[in-house]
Amino acid sequence: MVRPLPGQRHSETSWGNRAVNLPNALTLLRIILVPLLIALLVRENFGIALWVFVVAGVSDLLDGFIAKRFDLCTRLGAILDPLADKLLIVASFLVLAAGGRLPWWLAAVVILRDLVIVGGACAYHFRAGEVEMAPSPLSKANTFVQLCLILLVLLQGAGVVRTVNWLPLVQGVVLFTTIVSGVHYVIVWTLRARALGDQCRVRR
């Protein structure tokens, strides 16, 4: 039996012990939902696709809350969580663009940004070792507006709301945050790589 730390209630310790893998399990659930969402979007079953997307969004909120509330943050979770978000967003943009629900140029910008970030992270990893998986506030804002755009398109497809008039405005916001956050990542990781190079030269 796990003994509670000083000042910690026994119920909190038991809950933390039972929920040790819960945040990661919720993240994996989000990843598993991606193929289902793709299939529903391809068939233009926007009603069910909307509910699947909402479940994925709720799981995203829950895994972060539980991980922070019960101190269950892990290296695996830090990798899986942004990966799940990217899979959900990229897959949704691709299918919605293919179906004419989103412009191809916007989907291309979103995907290109993620490819640049992944490529840069891999290059940094091979040069410096472990990469710190810590999304910037700007990146979090970009993910939020991208998810909001997908939600609006699904709501429109399901006939819940009509967003034809101001949907281009949301697309413009997504384009802006995608480009700005992508450039920000490039600048930050370039500076880190240069600083790492300077440290290596000093050690020599």
pLDDT in tens, 27-85: 999 999 999 999 999 999 999 999 999 999 999 999 989 888 888 888 888 888 989 99
Mean pLDDT of 138-143: 94
Contact (Cβ atoms closer than 8 angstroms) between residue 49 and residue 36: no
The reported pLDDT for the residue numbered 128 is 65
Q: Name the band, by pLDDT with cuts 50, 70 and 90, for residue 195.
A: confident
Q: Report pLDDT digits (tens) over 145-193.
A: 999 999 999 999 999 988 678 899 999 999 999 999 999 988 987 887 7
Report the mean per-residue pLDDT for the chain: 84
Q: Mutual orientation of helices 137-157 and 75-98 as an angle, nearest 10°?
A: 40
Residue 104 has pLDDT above 60, yes or no: yes
d(CA 51, CA 57): 10
The residue that leads in pLDDT, 178 or 200, is: 178
Neighbours of 85 (CB within 10 A): 22
Sorted by where each starts, the structural domains of the chain and their CATH numbers stand as 18-203 (1.20.120.1760)
Give 152's Cβ-side CA count (13 Å radius): 18
Of 118, 121, 115, 178, nearest to 145 (Cα)?
178
Above 50 in pLDDT, residue 203? yes
Which amino acid, 119? G
Confidence at 144, pLDDT banded by 50, 70, 90: very high
Q: How would DSSP label each residue in the chain?
A: -PPPPTT--HHHHHHHHHTTTHHHHHHHHHHHHHHHHHHHHHTT-HHHHHHHHHHHHHHHHHHHHHHHHTT---HHHHHHHHHHHHHHHHHHHHHHHHTTSS-HHHHHHHHHHHHHHHHHHHHHHHHHS-------HHHHHHHHHHHHHHHHHHHHHTTS---TTTHHHHHHHHHHHHHHHHHHHHHHHHHHHHHHHHHHHHH-
